């Protein structure tokens, strides 16, 4: 009789090992330093040692915990118990996290003085806590945005490591995740901060070379345009590159690869969604109703940003801030408040634990709207269905962060061509029958036309 017991390899270790507990404790201590720094209790805390110590402890905590979580598991899909976990099934922990994240964004956008940013005086609080790193990178004091940038990058890097371990059986996911980690660390964080330090003598302008209008809605604001125009060669390059990105590079890449080249390989919002946001992906609403709301909302934002930018440029060239009854500065302020801050920040990330990790990308991002229109009508990208092998189980739809009812297409044997698909590839990964595949193929107008052949007779092949 053949007998075997290798039960050391428990596929779903719960929160039981001393290593997991230690990892959480270490990370917690790191986080605690940061939280305490908000309260200005003692000057001693604002030494570089505490900032770097805090970040290091958190990095160790997340990484060690992730390794411990997945080390005894077989490579493969790891969704056991997802809907039983209070943190990710809109349970108590999920709501607590949602409230904390939302509160953080509210302070960040509207009450930076609470975080320690003071217009007339040196930094205090958590902003002061980050001064050593800001000084080291660009020779300037920190700001609430610097704090945010560091934490954001940290989240993508270390939750990226967690994601890499979770999806280690898939080279597509490995390479894609390394890509978002790279673009966040180098293009969104290090390069802009270092260039800022090197060009401190010229007026500020945004130096993130992968941030594209209209997601980067302030690109055509006069302070940014003036900054670039007065910024010498680098400023000129930034201006030309920025315009090229929107009007030349984006359409070409989207034709060949769909919007995924940006949304799940390069973009910072996408980067956070795919790493720290991954555990919340199943919370997106899959109903037809949600799809209808999505189309109205995202295209409204696109119209809004185009009008707003048009008005801003009108003011830039004419010097007049009034056109008909519209005050261009007022419109711009409303866009910044409603879309830039409330939608993309507070709701976009704060509501991860409630509405899923792609709320902003799905309902709000005007860049995603443009890429989506092109993806739908003029791109090689599609998700192909493997004919009749679908068992309608629903894993693909459940784990689609964009709320696409992938199963609707898969069970018909139809290619998925949807404006919103960011090409993360998770539907194909979780499919237990190998039914879905992301592809770029030439026949762009033949996409999504063909359905699974019914096996009845030839003449009804295309009846569904």
Interacting residue ranges for other proteins, rule: CB under 8 A = 1-12, 14, 74-77, 79-85, 169-172, 175, 286-288, 384, 386-389, 391-395, 397-398, 407-408, 411, 425, 428-430, 432-434, 437-439, 454-457, 460, 463-464
Do the Cβ atoms of 282 and 356 come closer than 8 Å? yes
| Runs of H (alpha helix) within 206-358 | 222-229, 232-244, 250-257, 260-263, 268-274, 288-318, 328-335, 348-350, 352-355
Q: Which is nearer to other proteins, 6 or 44 (CB)?
A: 6
Cis? peptide before 111, omega within 30° of 0: no
For the residues of 436-460, what is the DSSP string, one character each?
EEEEE-S-TTTTTT--PPPSS-GGG
Return the number of the residue (73 or 226) whose C-beta is nearest other proteins.
73
Least Å distance, CB 300 to other proteins, is 25
CB of residue 4 to other proteins, shortest distance in Å: 4
Cβ 436 to other proteins shortest distance, Å? 9
Q: Which helix (H) or strand (E) holds 145?
A: helix 144-166
Token duo for residue 394: 């629903």
Task: Compute the least distance from the CB of residue 163 to other proteins, in Å.
Answer: 16
- Structure tokens of 237? 């390059």
- For other proteins, the closer of residues 152 and 262 by Cβ is 262
Q: Which residues contact 307 (CB under 8 A, 6 or more apart)?
A: 331
- State the CB neighbour count (10 A cutoff) for residue 77: 17
Phi/psi at 167 (nearest 5 deg)?
A: -105, 35
Provide the CA 459 distance to its chain's centre, in angstroms.
Answer: 46
- Cβ atoms of residues 28 and 65 within 8 Å: no
d(CA 139, CA 451) in angstroms, rounded, equals: 60
Minimum CB distance to other proteins smaller for 21 or for 441: 441
- Distance in Å, CB of 49 to other proteins, minimum: 42
Query: Which residues lie across from 385 on neighbouring strands?
Result: 436
Q: How far is the CB of 72 from other proteins (least distance, A)?
A: 10
Q: Would you say 104 or 408 has its CB closer to other proteins?
A: 408
User: From the CB of 327, what's the least distance to other proteins, in Å?
Assistant: 45
Residue with tokens 């009007």: 247
Closest CB to other proteins among residues 124, 384: 384
- Residue placing its CB nearer to other proteins in the complex, 230 or 439: 439
Instruction: Compute the least distance from the CB of residue 152 to other proteins, in Å.
Output: 27
Q: Cβ of residue 355: shortest distance to other proteins, in angstroms?
A: 16
Quick one: CA dihedral 246, 247, 248, 254, positive or negative? positive
321 or 389: CB nearest other proteins: 389
Q: Which is nearer to other proteins, 3 or 317 (CB)?
A: 3
The pair of three-digit structure tokens given for residue 190, joined into one six-digit string: 């290090």
Closer residue to other proteins (CB): 299 or 412:
412
DSSP 14-65: -TT-HHHHHHHHHHHHHHHHHHHHTT---GGGGSHHHHHHHHHHHHHHHHHH
Q: How far is the CB of 387 from other proteins (least distance, A)?
A: 4
């Amino acid at each position: 009789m053949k007998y075997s017991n290798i039960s050391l390899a428990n596929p779903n270790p719960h929160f039981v090992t001393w290593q997991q507990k230690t990892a959480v404790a270490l990370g917690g201590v790191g986080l605690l330093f940061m939280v305490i720094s908000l309260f200005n209790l003692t000057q001693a805390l604002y030494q570089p040692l505490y900032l770097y110590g805090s970040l290091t402890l958190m990095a160790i905590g997340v990484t060690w915990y992730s390794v411990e979580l997945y080390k005894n598991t077989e490579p493969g899909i790891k969704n056991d118990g997802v809907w039983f976990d209070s943190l990710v099934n809109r349970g108590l922990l999920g709501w607590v996290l949602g409230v904390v994240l939302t509160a953080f964004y509210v302070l960040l956008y509207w009450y930076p003085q609470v975080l320690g940013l003071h217009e007339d005086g040196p930094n205090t609080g958590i902003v002061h806590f980050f001064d050593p790193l800001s000084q080291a990178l660009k020779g300037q004091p920190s700001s609430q945005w610097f704090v945010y940038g560091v934490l954001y990058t940290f989240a993508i890097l270390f939750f990226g490591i967690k994601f890499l371990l979770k999806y280690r059986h898939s080279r597509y996911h490995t390479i894609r995740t390394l890509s978002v980690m790279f673009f966040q660390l180098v293009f969104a964080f290090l390069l802009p901060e270092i260039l800022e330090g090197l060009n401190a003598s010229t007026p500020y302008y945004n130096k993130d070379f992968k941030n594209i209008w209209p997601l980067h809605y302030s690109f055509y604001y006069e302070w940014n345009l003036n900054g670039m125009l007065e910024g010498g060669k680098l400023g000129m390059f930034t201006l030309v590159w920025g315009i090229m990105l929107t009007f030349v590079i984006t359409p070409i890449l989207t034709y060949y690869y769909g919007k995924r080249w940006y949304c799940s390989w390069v973009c910072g919002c996408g980067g956070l969604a795919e790493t720290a946001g991954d555990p919340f992906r199943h919370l997106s609403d899959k109903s037809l109703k949600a799809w209808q709301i999505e189309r109205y909302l995202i295209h409204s934002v696109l119209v809004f940003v185009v009008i707003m930018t048009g008005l801003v440029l009108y003011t830039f060239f004419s010097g007049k801030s009034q056109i008909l009854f519209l005050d261009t500065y007022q419109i711009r302020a409303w866009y910044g408040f409603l879309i830039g801050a409330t939608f993309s920040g507070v709701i976009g990330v704060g509501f991860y634990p409630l509405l899923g990790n792609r709320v902003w990308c799905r309902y709000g991002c005007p860049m995603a709207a443009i890429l989506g229109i092109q993806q739908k009508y003029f791109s090689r990208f599609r998700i192909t269905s493997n004919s009749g092998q679908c068992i309608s189980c629903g894993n693909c739809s459940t784990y689609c962060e964009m709320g696409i009812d992938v199963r609707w297409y898969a069970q018909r044997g139809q290619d998925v061509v949807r404006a919103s698909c960011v090409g993360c590839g998770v539907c194909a990964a979780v499919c237990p029958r190998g039914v879905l595949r992301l592809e770029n193929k030439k026949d762009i107008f033949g996409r999504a036309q063909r359905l699974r052949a019914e096996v009845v007779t030839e003449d009804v092949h295309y009846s569904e």
